[in-house]
Amino acid sequence: MDTPVPDHVDLAATLARLRAAQREHIPDARERIDLLTRLGQAVRRRKDDLLAAASADFGRRAPLETLGSDVMMSLDEIDYARKHLRRWMRPRRRSVNWTSRPARGELRVAPLGMVGIVSPWNYPLLLALAPLANAIAAGNRAMLKPSEFTPRTSALLARLVGEVFTPDQVVVVQGDASVGAAFSQLPFDHLLFTGSTTVGRLVMAAAALNLTPVTLELGGKSPVLVAPDYPIEHAADRVAFGKGFNAGQTCVAPDYVLVPRGQRDAFAQAFLASMRRRYPTLADNPDYTAIASPRQAQRLRDWIADARARGATVLEHRPTGETAPAGVEIVPPTLLLDPPDEAIVMQQELFGPLLVLKSYDSMDEAIAFILARDKPLAFYPFDRDGARLSRTLDRVSAGGVCVNDVLIHFGQHSLPAGGVGASGMGHYHGHAGFLTFSKQMPVLYQSRLNGMKLFDAPYSGFARRFFDWLTR
């Protein structure tokens, strides 16, 4: 079992030990497949423990949400890499310039070496194991820093990893923010961070000291754009799904909805009706996930109060007469109607069961509203007019797009996950993750019979005429 690494010296020594092991031996396809197989088996074996740990860390977490996201999606990522790994590892032929023939080219994939992974609290297993599976598939060794805000899950993750990997393959580092800061300063060959944009900037600055390449999976305010003639009840129901799942504590959760002005109230009522159907009670409902900490819950309550004080209409699904159990932080699904731009909920990612509704008068106005802000991690257009939808997608840049639904694009093996601009950089998942943690190494094989000596110095008249012809 891996133990927490207590200080900066040990972090550096641990990295050096792993790097020395990587220099000594790079795992082949068979070894990587075996590690991925055993990792999947360990997750399946520990499934019930993982559900219990996540629920204890959150105060209460819907078991099906942990099972469907953290457990199932982690297993999907592991199994997909395992099944496709040999094909991903094959060298690929590449053509060469006609002036270099009969040489031939190929593209090989080589492990980067040492990978660092910093994972957050909201999906404490998935956002640690999915990039780890990608890194192992690519032939790397890894150090993993899970969140200190989910201590039970992080400790269980360390035990799980210790069952599968030797201390010279993968190490889990546990500790507070100071350990995380020191972790980000290590000279990894690649560092993947998932978390807030604010912390992402600090991580990137720390990594820059070592010229460490980074993949940043951040967040931001992911918009929903409901087209004027789209069925309002369906759009509201799907957005309710995205806001209810994990109580909105999801980096790609819908953050605000742009809805035609005359349909705003209809959307609000349909949204609340969907929430009432999904969660007839909140305080004692095992399907409604709690807010992960008192600090996060108070943040959300303060932001609601700020929006109300600035004139926004606040609508809640709050069943009467309910009292949450001790230690369970419940924030009800809450709509904030047309808050002003200076409200905190318009400035910060909500990351909870709050949803902003903004009215618009034209599609151009709605798109301009999106474009005036940072590029989001996710964009959710609800539109059945193909030509209009295509024009929208031509204009809006986002980390990922899901049309006429929410969230589900994130779990697709063939679609890379990643942000753009303030919502992140780089990709992982599936083959994209394998490539992120690999060096695509170009190789040119010179033929035994070739004409390169014709162009050696001292340069002949033929060489001068040849290059003059090429550049005519």
In a domain, 472, yes or no: no
For residue 256, the domain's CATH number is: 3.40.309.10
Position 144 scores a pLDDT of 97
Residue 435: both structure tokens together: 């490539």
Q: What's the gap between Cα 115 and its chain centre?
A: 16
Residue 456 located in a structural domain: no
Amino acid occupying residue 66: T
**102 and 13, same domain (yes or no):** yes
329 is catalytic: no
Q: Say what the alpha-carbon torsion angle 140, 141, 143, 146 is, to the nearest 10 degrees.
A: 60
pLDDT digits (tens, 9 = 90+) for 191-214: 999 999 999 999 999 999 999 999
Q: Are residues 186 and 244 in the same domain?
A: no
Cβ distance 304 to 314 under 8 Å?
A: yes
Could you tell me if residue 374 is inside a domain? yes
Report which of 145, 161, 189 is spatially closest to residue 23, judged by C-alpha positions. Answer: 189
Tell me which of 65, 217, 329, 349 is the catalytic residue.
Answer: 217
| pLDDT value of residue 1 | 40
pLDDT in tens, 165-180: 999 999 999 999 999 9
Q: If 0-12 CB within 10 Å is exposed, 13-18 middle and 19+ buried, where does residue 381 land?
A: buried
Do 183 and 64 share a structural domain? yes
Residue 67 belongs to a domain: yes
Q: Same domain for 204 and 277?
A: no
The token pair that represents 168 in the structure block: 């010279």
Max CA distance (Å), the chain: 96
Give the separation between CA 185 and CA 182, rounded to whole angstroms: 5
Q: Which of the residues 77, 251, 329, 349 is marked catalytic?
A: 251
Q: Evaluate whether 332 touches 318 at the Cβ level (below 8 Å).
A: yes
Token readout for 71 is 């457990």
Cα 91 to the center of its chain, rounded Å: 28
75 with 206, same domain?
yes
* pLDDT value of residue 321: 82
CATH number for the domain spanning 153: value is 3.40.605.10
Same-domain pairing of 201 and 342: no
Is residue 266 classed exposed, middle or buried when 0-12, 13-18 and 19+ CB atoms within 10 A define those classes? Answer: middle
Give Cα separations from 245 to 300, 346, 353 (angstroms).
16, 21, 9
> Whole domain around residue 437: which residue ranges?
8-218+423-442
In sign, the C-alpha dihedral spanning 339, 340, 341, 347 is negative
Q: State how many domains the chain has.
A: 2
> Quick one: 249 and 111 in the same domain?
no
What tokens does 403 get?
Answer: 């049309």
Burial classification of residue 414, based on how many CB atoms lie within 10 Å of its CB (0-12 exposed, 13-18 middle, 19 or more buried): exposed
Amino acid at position 297, single letter: A
Query: Residues for the chain: how many in total?
Result: 472
Q: Is 459 part of a structural domain of the chain?
A: no
**Do 226 and 214 fall into the same domain?**
no
Whole-angstrom distance, CA of residue 247 vs CA of residue 61: 9
User: Is the dihedral angle over the CA atoms 311, 317, 323, 329 positive or is it negative?
Assistant: negative
Residues 134 and 190 placed together within one structural domain of the fold:
yes
234 and 176 part of one domain: no
DSSP letters of 446-461?
--SS--GGGGPSSPPH
Q: Are residues 126 and 111 in the same domain?
A: yes
pLDDT of residue 8: 45
Query: Would you tell me how many other CB atoms lie within 10 Å of the CB of residue 454?
Result: 11
454 in any annotated domain: no
pLDDT of residue 320: 83
Distance CA 88, CA 298 (A): 47
Whether 81 and 87 have beta carbons less than 8 Å apart is answered as no
pLDDT mean for each 10 residues of the chain (472 residues) = 48 96 96 98 96 96 96 96 97 93 95 97 96 98 97 96 96 94 96 94 95 95 97 98 97 97 96 97 96 96 97 94 90 97 96 97 97 96 97 97 96 92 94 97 92 88 90 89
Instruction: Establish whether 251 is a catalytic residue.
Output: yes
Map tokens 């609290």 to a residue: 121
Q: What is the DSSP letter of 413?
A: T
Same domain, 382 and 431: no
Residue 43 resides in a domain: yes
Q: What is the pLDDT of residues 297-350, one digit of tens each?
A: 999 999 999 999 999 999 999 998 888 898 899 999 999 999 999 999 999 999
In a domain? residue 391: yes
DSSP string spanning 151-216?
HHHHHHHHHHHHHHS-TTTEEE----HHHHHHHHTS--SEEEEES-HHHHHHHHHHHHTTT--EEE
